[in-house]
């Protein structure tokens, strides 16, 4: 321990003063983009502060600007729950869809008035949440699955455009402020970073977004600090001690606090200027230093946002209006067919690698037999490929002028390329399938789906490993995963003691997944993440779901006949029953969904019939579900309330017959107010 002197009062004051100056100049530089001192002067201030803190280490505080870097590397990231889920956005690709969005909101709120919209560039980076308690940055996390993310506080602290302490010269800091934003890397910096990596023999990042994500997920914050990351913040999560009326006001206040907001954000009345903004930005976007993939259109009023509420995965009040896909031309080397987890056989074009919108692409989906025929894609053809957002690249069209004379039309194989079973294509369907339930191709896909994100999320269980496990005969079905031991894995290529232990641990850890993820993992046809969520909420356990009859399934809001049939078929199949039994015996125990807070309406079922005057049907439903109730489309003995509007249908009669409580619109409204 070095000898430390007790700090004289003027040193304490100078340190304080330097920190304030540095924070302020950071704000001028990053938030306002209007520095008032030179970089050299800034460095001098920083250097003086560093020297003083070295001399008086007892005066170092965690939110000193010198403390951005310096935390010790972590073993792993902890998870942190988001107080308010971080949702995704619904996408639109055309003006028509955007106008339809605006119309839908007007219908939902039963209004003809134009909305104020805030329009923002949609940054293509990594979503994060920053938590400020009494003005001090305490936790920063990634979006994760929307409900919980990884605690990457030490890494976020290294980003200079993230204030460690909010500025309070214009407005006091609130008690709690959750800021959401996008961390990104500029395109030029991304290219530089990749050059450096390649010269060191390290793999290049596929695109700026991956580079930002990879940089943020470093266990050693010094690595993150060496990457030129920035942030733009675009919204608030939970806020205590300050009430915002609008998105616009939120963002303006962010700026006062020193939080960086994209200067291209605008506010307009009505949807047409929002569409015009999209077109303007689409022209401008290639001259921006960062990647954007569209614009986000948000209803400005937070009161209306609240009334509009959210769907399963995205808010009703916002829309991502994407830019047209990026396209490129390349040559088709081969057309192969892939066997999906439901046995669907999909033709894919294997192409000369080409860069499309910053990503190197060498495969594109051709969807199905008819599509290949319609586009007449042949081996040897030069094709136009496109990628829209996260979507799998696809072949748009063939440049027929460049077709080599020997190119022959594609013929769909008659037999499964994996197991050799004759393929079937039911009349009237576009999809060709391998009917063999034991087909290894489908099995491989279904295991991959089972282990994937949004499902059991088993870290390290990717395509290659699954293939290897199947080939070695170590697994035949997903339940076998839970029987694997380190001893099984160590002898295999690709495995050492540590990686074997890690995989076994990851598999074991997946035994306790949220029910919705487990339902999704099963790979029931037509049941994806969103539907799995609905089913988990409605039934609460796998047992209840597996016993549900078609009628009961149809009562779940959002489930139609095709999905209901598919779910029934899945649970009636003896092979699936056996699989579920095995999983249970092996200790796979999905966690029941968190109970919505107990309200008088929790679990109560409502049925609507006839037109309501002051609510759209959608808003009425949303009011019920927000209070923990359920909305069903048919009246049965299990219905608790029937809400009757003008010209009610047969449901009204049935409700009377069954003696169910009947509410008119005014009574419904009162009930909603009482139980809010």
Closest approach, Cβ 221 to ligand IVH, in A, equals: 22
Return the DSSP state at 112: -
DSSP line for 173-231:
PPSEEEEEEEEEE-HHHHHHHHHHHHHTTPPPPSSHHHHHHHHHT-SSHHHHHTS-EEE
Give me the half-sphere count of Cα atoms (radius 13 Å) on the Cβ side of residue 103. Answer: 6
Cα(190)–Cα(596) distance, integer angstroms: 44
- Nearest to residue 191, comparing CAs of 386, 358, 388, 389? 358
Q: Which token pair is 203?
A: 């793999």
Q: Which stretch binds ligand IVH (CB under 6 A): 120-128, 397-405, 529-537, 623-631?
A: 120-128
479-507 per-residue burial string, b: 16 or more CB within 10 A, e: under 16: bbbbebebebbeebeebeeebbebbbebb
Q: Output 182 or 189, the one with its CB closest to ligand IVH.
A: 182
CB of 219 to ligand IVH, least distance (A): 23
Regarding 532 and contact with ligand IVH (CB under 6 A), the answer is: no
In whole angstroms, the minimum distance from the beta carbon of 389 to ligand IVH comes to: 9
Shortest gap between Cβ of 90 and ligand IVH (angstroms)? Answer: 8
What is the nearest approach in angstroms of ligand IVH to the Cβ of residue 34? 22
- For the record, the structure tokens of 216 come out as 């943020």
Residue found under tokens 């600007």: 65
| Token pair belonging to 453 | 């994100």
CA pair distance 282, 18, nearest whole angstrom? 42
Give the interface segment with ligand IVH, choosing from 1-9, 116-124, 359-367, 501-509 (CB under 6 A).
Answer: 116-124
Q: Is 65 in the site for ligand IVH (CB under 6 A)?
A: no
Establish if 481 lies at the interface with ligand IVH (CB under 6 A): no
In angstroms, what is the minimal distance from the CB of 89 to ligand IVH? 4
Please tell me whether residue 178 binds ligand IVH under the rule CB under 6 A: no
Give the shortest CB-579-to-ligand IVH separation in angstroms. Answer: 34
Report yes or no: 308 and 316 within 8 Å, Cβ to Cβ: yes
Residue with Cβ nearer ligand IVH (48 or 145) = 145
Q: Toward ligand IVH, which CB reaches closer, 126 or 335?
A: 126
Q: Is 179 in the site for ligand IVH (CB under 6 A)?
A: no
**Dihedral pair phi/psi, residue 394, rounded to 5°:** -135, 155
Q: Does 312 bind ligand IVH (CB under 6 A)?
A: no
**CB nearer to ligand IVH: pick between 212 and 635:** 212
Task: Give yes or no for residue 210 binding ligand IVH (CB under 6 A).
Answer: no
Task: Provide the mask over 246-265, with x wherever binding to ligand IVH is found by CB under 6 A and - wherever it is not.
Answer: --------------------
Contact between 405 and 377 under an 8 Å Cβ cutoff? The reply is no
Residue by residue, DSSP assigns 46-82 as HHHHHHHHHH-GGG--TTSGGGSS-PPPPSSPPEEE-
Catalytic residue among 122, 322, 375, 604: 122
Give how many residues touch ligand IVH by CB under 6 A: 15
Do residues 294 and 278 make contact, with C-beta atoms less than 8 angstroms apart?
yes
213 vs 554, beta carbon nearer ligand IVH? 213
What track of x and - describes contact with ligand IVH for positions 576 through 595 (by CB under 6 A)? --------------------
Indicate the residue among 257 and 539 with the shorter CB distance to ligand IVH. 257
Task: Tell me which of 135, 221, 235, 358 binds ligand IVH, using CB under 6 A.
Answer: 235
Q: Enumerate residues 6+ apart whose C-beta is below 8 A from 563.
A: 526, 527, 531, 553
Using the minimum distance from each CB to ligand IVH, give the nearer residue, 309 or 628: 309
- Determine which residue in the list 214, 273, 309, 315 makes contact with ligand IVH, applying CB under 6 A: 315
Instruction: Give me the residue label for tokens 């009628």.
Output: 551
Q: Smallest gap, in angstroms, from Cβ of residue 595 to ligand IVH?
A: 24
Closest distance of CB 182 from ligand IVH, Å: 5
Assess 318 for contact with ligand IVH (CB under 6 A): yes
Closer to ligand IVH by Cβ: residue 250 or 605? 250
Please report how close the Cβ of residue 390 comes to ligand IVH at its closest, in angstroms.
9
If one asks whether residue 79 binds ligand IVH (CB under 6 A), the answer comes out as: no
Residues 85-104 that bind ligand IVH (CB under 6 A): 87-89
Distances (CA, A) of 526 to 438, 530, 551: 20, 10, 18
Q: Which residue is nearest to ligand IVH (CB)?
A: 127
The SS3 of residue 662 is: strand
**For ligand IVH, what does the binding mask look like between residues 215 and 234, x meaning CB under 6 A?**
-------------------x
Min. distance of Cβ 120 from ligand IVH in angstroms? 4
Question: At closest approach, how far in Å is the CB of 122 from ligand IVH?
Answer: 4
Report which of 396, 403, 300 is spatially closest to residue 356, judged by C-alpha positions.
396
In the complex, minimum distance from the CB of residue 560 to ligand IVH, in angstroms, rounded to a whole number: 25
CA distance 445 to 431: 17
Among 162, 320, 398, 521, binds ligand IVH (CB under 6 A): 320
Binding residue for ligand IVH, selected from 123, 251, 364, 481, defined by CB under 6 A: 123
Parallel, antiparallel or unpaired: strands 605-609 and 641-644:
parallel
CB nearer to ligand IVH: give 146 or 435: 146
Q: Which of 385, 397, 395, 284 is nearest to 326 (CA)?
A: 385
User: Is residue 143 near ligand IVH by the rule CB under 6 A?
Assistant: yes
CA dihedral (302, 303, 308, 310) positive or negative = positive
Given a contact cutoff of 8 angstroms between Cβ atoms, the answer to whether 405 and 385 are in contact is no
Cα–Cα distance between 239 and 249 in angstroms, integer? Answer: 13
Residues 399-458 that bind ligand IVH (CB under 6 A): none
Asked if residue 296 binds ligand IVH (CB under 6 A), the reply is: yes
Largest CA distance in the chain: 88
Q: Which is nearer to ligand IVH, 88 or 338 (CB)?
A: 88
For residue 421, the SS3 value is: coil
322 binds ligand IVH (CB under 6 A): no
Output 21 or 533, the one with its CB closest to ligand IVH: 533
Q: Which of 127, 251, 503, 583 binds ligand IVH (CB under 6 A)?
A: 127
**Which range of residues in 59-67, 152-160, 315-323, 533-541 is near ligand IVH by CB under 6 A?**
315-323
Q: Which residues of 618-630 are buried (b: 16+ CB within 10 A; e: fewer)?
A: bbbbbbbbbbbbb
Answer yes or no whether residue 122 interacts with ligand IVH by CB under 6 A: yes
Chain centre to alpha carbon of residue 180: 13
Helix (H, G, I), strand (E, B) or coil at 377: coil
> Minimal CA–CA distance to 88: which of 271, 311, 391, 323?
311
Considering the complex, state which of residue 123 and residue 519 has its C-beta at the smaller distance from ligand IVH.
123
Q: Which is nearer to ligand IVH, 250 or 510 (CB)?
A: 250
In 3D, which of 603, 632, 454, 639 has the Cα closest to residue 533? 454
122 flagged as catalytic: yes
Which residues belong to the active site? 122
Question: Which positions lie near ligand IVH, rule CB under 6 A?
Answer: 87-89, 120, 122-123, 127, 143, 182, 234-235, 296, 315, 318, 320
């Amino acid at each position: 321990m070095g000898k430390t002197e007790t700090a004289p009062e003027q040193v304490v004051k100078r340190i304080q003063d330097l920190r304030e100056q540095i924070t302020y100049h950071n704000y001028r530089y990053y938030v306002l983009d209007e520095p008032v001192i030179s970089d050299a002067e800034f460095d001098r201030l920083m250097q003086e502060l560093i020297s003083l803190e070295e001399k008086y280490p007892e005066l170092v505080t965690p939110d000193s600007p010198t403390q951005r870097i310096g935390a010790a590397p972590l073993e792993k990231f902890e998870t942190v729950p988001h107080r308010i889920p971080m949702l995704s956005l619904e996408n639109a690709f055309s003006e028509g869809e955007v106008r339809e969005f605006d119309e839908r909101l007007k219908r939902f709120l039963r209004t003809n008035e134009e909305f104020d919209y805030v329009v923002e560039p949609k940054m293509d980076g990594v979503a994060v949440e920053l938590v400020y308690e009494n003005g001090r940055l305490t936790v920063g996390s990634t979006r994760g699955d929307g409900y919980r993310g990884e605690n990457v506080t030490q890494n976020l602290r290294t980003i200079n455009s993230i204030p460690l302490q909010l500025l309070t010269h214009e407005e006091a800091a609130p008690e709690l402020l959750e800021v959401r934003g996008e961390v990104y890397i500029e395109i030029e910096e991304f290219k530089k970073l990749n050059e450096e990596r390649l010269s060191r023999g390290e793999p290049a990042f596929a695109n700026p977004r991956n580079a930002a994500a990879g940089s943020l997920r470093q266990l050693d914050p010094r690595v993150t600090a060496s990457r030129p990351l920035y942030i733009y913040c675009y919204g608030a999560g939970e806020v205590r001690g300050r009430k915002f009326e609008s998105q616009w006001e939120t963002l303006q206040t962010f700026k006062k606090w020193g939080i960086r907001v994209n200067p291209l954000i605008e506010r307009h009345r009505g949807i047409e200027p929002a569409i015009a903004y999209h077109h303007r930005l689409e022209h401008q976007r290639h001259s921006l230093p960062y990647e954007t993939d569209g614009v986000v259109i948000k209803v400005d009023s937070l009161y209306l946002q609240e009334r509009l509420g959210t769907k399963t995965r995205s808010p009703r009040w916002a829309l991502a209006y994407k830019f047209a896909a990026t396209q490129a031309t390349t040559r088709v080397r081969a057309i192969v067919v892939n066997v999906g987890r439901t046995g669907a056989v999909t033709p894919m074009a294997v192409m000369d690698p080409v860069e499309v919108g910053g990503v190197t692409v060498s495969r594109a989906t051709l969807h199905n037999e008819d599509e290949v025929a319609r586009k007449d894609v042949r081996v040897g053809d030069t094709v136009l490929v496109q990628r829209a957002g996260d979507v799998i690249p696809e072949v748009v069209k063939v440049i027929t002028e460049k077709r080599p004379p020997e190119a022959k039309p594609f013929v769909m194989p008659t037999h499964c390329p994996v197991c050799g079973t004759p393929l079937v294509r039911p009349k009237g369907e576009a999809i060709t399938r391998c009917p063999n339930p034991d087909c290894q191709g489908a099995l491989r896909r279904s295991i991959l789906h089972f282990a994937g994100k949004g499902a059991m999320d088993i870290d390290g269980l990717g395509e290659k490993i699954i293939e290897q496990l199947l080939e070695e005969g170590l697994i035949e079905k997903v339940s076998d995963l839970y029987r694997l031991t380190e001893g099984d894995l160590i002898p295999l290529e690709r495995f050492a003691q540590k990686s074997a232990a890690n995989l076994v641990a990851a598999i074991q850890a997946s035994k306790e997944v949220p029910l919705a993820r487990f339902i999704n993992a099963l790979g029931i046809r037509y049941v994806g993440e969103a539907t799995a969520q609905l089913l988990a909420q409605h039934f609460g356990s796998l047992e209840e779901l597996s016993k549900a009859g078609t009628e009961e399934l149809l009562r779940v809001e959002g489930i139609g006949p095709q999905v209901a049939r598919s779910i029934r078929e899945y649970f009636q199949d003896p092979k699936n029953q056996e699989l579920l039994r095995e999983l249970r015996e092996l200790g796979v125990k999905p966690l029941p969904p968190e109970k919505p807070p107990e309200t008088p309406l929790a679990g109560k079922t409502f049925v609507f019939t006839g037109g309501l005057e002051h609510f759209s049907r959608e808003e009425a439903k949303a009011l019920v579900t927000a209070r923990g109730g359920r909305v069903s489309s048919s009246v049965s003995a299990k219905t608790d309330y029937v809400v009757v509007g003008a010209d009610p249908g047969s449901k009204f009669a049935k409700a009377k017959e069954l003696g169910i409580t009947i509410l008119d619109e005014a009574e419904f409204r009162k009930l909603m107010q009482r139980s809010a």
